[in-house]
Amino acid sequence: MSAHEESTFLEEYDPTRYPRPSVTVDLVILTVRDAHLKVLLVQRKEHPYRHGWALPGGFVRVKEDPLDQGESLLDAAHRELAEETGLPLGAAFLEQLYTFGKPGRDPRTRVISVAWYALIQPELAPLVTAGSDAAHVAWYCVSQMPAELAFDHQLIVNTAIERIRGKIDYAPIAFNLVPETFTVAELRAAYGAVKGQPYDAGNFRRRFLRMLEDGLVEQAPGLRHVARKPSTVYRFVTPARVGEPG
């Protein structure tokens, strides 16, 4: 049987007769506090990796009914995000990251995980723990995480950090890591937290002024009084993008 005949052969058969993997969504939920990038971890209550720290996540809800095949991957990610954080649906920037499916990554059965990352505004971050009192959840500095995360979750976190570090320079994702209204210094701190090193104040302001000219941000009423001299506050104009290709 040639290679091609074999692939055709597979298609002719009812796929339900072949073993299927479990599919989960795992979430790398990030925020910025005190100029540090933090990730939300949950402590597992069951084996495997009992008491170990892991990313929040869960199974994608699938149905056999051809007319209702269950929830989409994006819906599953949104649902898990709401369930694990207690935050309302759509409160965060959410984007698909990568799909991890190495055999053996879950010792129980074959599990393929569609990983997503979410960016949470620092105002909302403190509310997270309250929403899920039953389990241990905690914000960890990405540079001070537990030595070993469950499954391949350390790899997933690293992949997420790599992604946003690359993306922050050309996409307006940092606005999901500052309050609704923010100062230039606050936005600069968010950029620095993501990059892992501070930005020059002067150069960053120049870059910010271009955003102003481009209509990406606008001045907001009032002033922020944290330093000796109060600073202008701004807000993001374009709504946070949440979605999938197409």
Partner DNA sequence: TAAATAGTGTCTATGAGACATTATGTA
Partner DNA sequence: TACATAATGTCTCATAGACACTATTTA
Q: What residue 168 binds from DNA, a copy of itself, none (CB within 5 to 8 A, per partner kind)?
A: none
Query: Residue 147's Cα: distance from chain center in Å?
Result: 21
Residue 96 touches a copy of itself, criterion: CB under 8 A: yes
- Minimum CB–partner distance for residue 63 and a copy of itself (Å): 6
- Minimum CB–partner distance for residue 30 and a copy of itself (Å): 17
- Minimum CB–partner distance for residue 96 and a copy of itself (Å): 6
Q: Which residue in 86, 231, 235, 237 binds DNA (CB under 7 A)?
A: 231
137-166: contacts with a copy of itself (CB under 8 A): 152, 155, 158-159, 162
Strand partners, 62: 70
- Tell me the two tokens of residue 192: 């620095």
Q: Which is nearer to a copy of itself, 221 or 246 (CB)?
A: 246
Q: Per CB under 8 A, which region of 81-89, 181-189, 197-205, 217-225 contacts a copy of itself? A: 81-89
Strand partners, 22: 111
Q: Label each residue of 140-180 as H, E or C.
A: EECCCCCCCECCCHHHHHHHHHHHHHHHCCCCCCHHHHCCC
Q: What residue 222 binds from DNA, a copy of itself, none (CB within 5 to 8 A, per partner kind)?
A: none
Binding residues vs DNA (CB under 7 A): 183-185, 200-203, 205-207, 209-210, 225-232
